[in-house]
Amino acid sequence: MKRSILASVGVTAAFAGAIAIATVFSGEAPAQARKEAPLYLQGAASVAPWKRYSDWPQRDMSKFNTLAKLASPPAPKEVRKLTGPVTGDAANGAKLVADRTRGGSCLACHVMGQAGNADLPGNVGPDLSEIGNAGREDEWLVNYVSDARVYNPETVMPPWGTHGLFNEQEINDMVVFLKTLKAPAKFRAVLDDPTKRPAPIETRDNLDDLQNPGMWAVERAQDLWKVNGPSGSSCATCHANTAALKTWAVAMPKFEPRLDKVVSVEEFVYRHAKATTGADWLMQSNENTALAVYLRFIANGQIIHVDTTSPGAKAALARGKELTARKLGQLNFACLDCHDPAKGGLKWIRGQWLGEQKGQYDHFPTWRTSLQSVWDIRKRFQWCQVNIRADELPPDAKEYGDLELYLASVNDGLKMSVPGIRH
């Protein structure tokens, strides 16, 4: 017991630059008053008001839930009764199920026989290739596509009708098409079959600067470290010995009483630099991301272990955990819907693998080969939300702090390896 307390004290002490830890040491070592790290406490730590990246979809999703507010229309309480058999255009239905302009298409989650030429369907939902033989009533099919929550409150399926992605006639067309599905899918290539597609494994050496351009941020940060800010001092003025920061980043994010929120490496970099060197390194600026990569790079190989015991951290952790279950956006997905193996986690959404929560933090900020840039975890959160047709929050949002603390706690025990490299 005593050993485990000491172990956690060791980690706590390492990032003590920022918090007073005198009480933790009582009885073990002479109480030592540590100076709090200077932080600029005013205003936002990211562009304010936040404006979405211009090359991201600009649709307005303010009618739906975000991590900060509840706005989505309620789920229907009752099944919508049909007056007669459903009528519609099966050919149009076949087109709609493969239409990727409205939320990724049905094929993103379901194998559906030859629909969309059985081209890389996903397997988050059941294989519907023989749904036409399942003896389902028209009414059941129509309601299930329109809003599956009337039958299954736990479903991860988007409420296509209730959330206005497809109108009544379009849903009828899709149902008429579904009833024609009576034969197993034939795949042109083995990899088109999601049950046979092997999970992707990242084998590149993410710390080799010839393989991972994300490593260049480390060099950029080492230069920035020595550049004097408006106050005439630089990072190196106080932190000439970066080895002293070896375990700082693995204990981040942490609850910061002065701001009454969880502060990440990125937000800390902005507020600390602003208060000391005077540099204006807003979150998600190139400088901020480079520093955030570098501070974690220094901690590479160390074990991620965040504080979840202080009253503020405990409350933030509980809020973060709750947020992972909140349904967001027009597609009505919660974090857990895609990243909990009991739901969509460790399955395919179209050709993309949905990872579980563990393993989704230790390599951030990460180089994205498909985008040729380094993304921190907050940008990843933002993109998740825009992708599921929800409005994102600014990078410094309190809710993201809660969520990041929870994610870090799930990744507790993993070794930091930053910058990562991912698709």
Partner 1 sequence: MAEKPRLKVPKEAKKGEIIELKTLLSHVMETGLRKDAAGNIIPRKIINKFTCEFNGKPVFSADIEPAVAANPYIQFNAKVDESGTFKFTWVEDDGTVTTTEEKITVV
Total site size for partner 1, rule CB under 8 A: 6
CB 348 within 8 A of CB 405: no
Q: Shortest Cβ distance from residue 161 to partner 1 (Å)?
A: 32
DSSP H helices in 179-282: 216-226, 235-238, 265-276
Closest CA to 400 of 253, 249, 290: 253
Tell the smallest beta-carbon distance from residue 98 to partner 1 (Å): 25
At closest approach, how far in Å is the CB of 211 from partner 1? 8
Bond from prior residue into 365 cis (ω within 30 degrees of 0): yes
- Which residues, numbered 290-309, are part of the site for partner 1 (CB under 8 A)? none
Q: Which two tokens stand for residue 35?
A: 């100076």
Measured from the CB atom, the residue of 167 and 211 that comes closer to partner 1 is 211
Q: Considering beta carbons, is residue 123 or 373 the nearer one to partner 1?
A: 373
Each residue 85-114 as x (binds partner 1 by CB under 8 A) or -, in order, gives ------------------------------
User: Is 349:124 a contact under the CB 8 Å cutoff?
Assistant: yes
Q: Give CA–CA dist 99/116, Å, rounded.
A: 9
Shortest distance (Å) from residue 390 CB to partner 1: 23
Whose Cβ is closer to partner 1: residue 50's or residue 216's?
A: 216
With respect to partner 1, which residue has the nearer C-beta, 188 or 204?
204
Closer to partner 1 at the Cβ: 4 or 372? 372
Exposure string over 31-59, b if 16+ CB within 10 A, otherwise e:
eeeeeebebeeeebbbeeebeeeeeeeee
Closest approach of Cβ 207 to partner 1, in Å? 13
Kindly tell me the sign of the dihedral angle through the C-alpha atoms of 236, 237, 238, 240: positive
Write out the binding residues for partner 1, residues 229-288 only, by CB under 8 A.
none
At closest approach, how far in Å is the CB of 330 from partner 1?
Answer: 23
Q: Nearest approach, Cβ of 220 to partner 1 (angstroms)?
A: 8
- Between residue 369 and residue 388, which ones bind partner 1 under the rule CB under 8 A? 372
Tokens of 375: 């993304």
Instruction: Choose between 215 and 251: whose C-beta lies nearer to partner 1.
Output: 215
For partner 1, the closer CB: 233 or 285: 285
Dihedral sign, CA of 300, 394, 313, 337? negative
The least distance separating partner 1 from the CB of residue 224, rounded to whole angstroms, comes to 13
The residue among 290 and 335 lying less far from partner 1, judged by its C-beta, is 290
Site residues for partner 1, window 308-327 (CB under 8 A)?
A: none
Say which residue the tokens 């709750």 belong to.
322
- Give the contact letters, 198-237, x = binds to partner 1 (CB under 8 A), - = no: -----------xx--x--x--x------------------
User: Minimal distance in Å, beta carbon 143 to partner 1?
Assistant: 40
- Residue 421's H or E segment, with its range, is strand 420-422
* Secondary structure class of 394 (helix, strand, coil): coil
| Helix, strand, or coil (residue 23) | helix
Candidates 80, 91, 180, 185; CA nearest to 136 is 180
Q: Give me the DSSP letters along 319-366.
A: HHHHHTT--BTTTTB-HHHHH-TTTTTTSEETTEE---STTSSTT-SE
Report 41-80 residues binding partner 1 (CB under 8 A): none
Q: Identify any residues that bridge with 254 across adjacent strands, giving them in sequence order.
A: 263
What does the alpha-carbon distance between residue 402 and residue 319 come to, in Å, rounded to a whole number? 6
- Give the integer Cα–Cα distance in Å for 182 and 153: 28
- Minimum CB–partner distance for residue 208 and partner 1 (Å): 9
Interface characters, 333-372, with partner 1 (x: CB under 8 A): ---------------------------------------x
Bridge partners (DSSP) of residue 338 are: none
Q: Quick one: 241 or 372, whose CB is closer to partner 1? A: 372
Binding site for partner 1 (CB under 8 A): 209-210, 213, 216, 219, 372
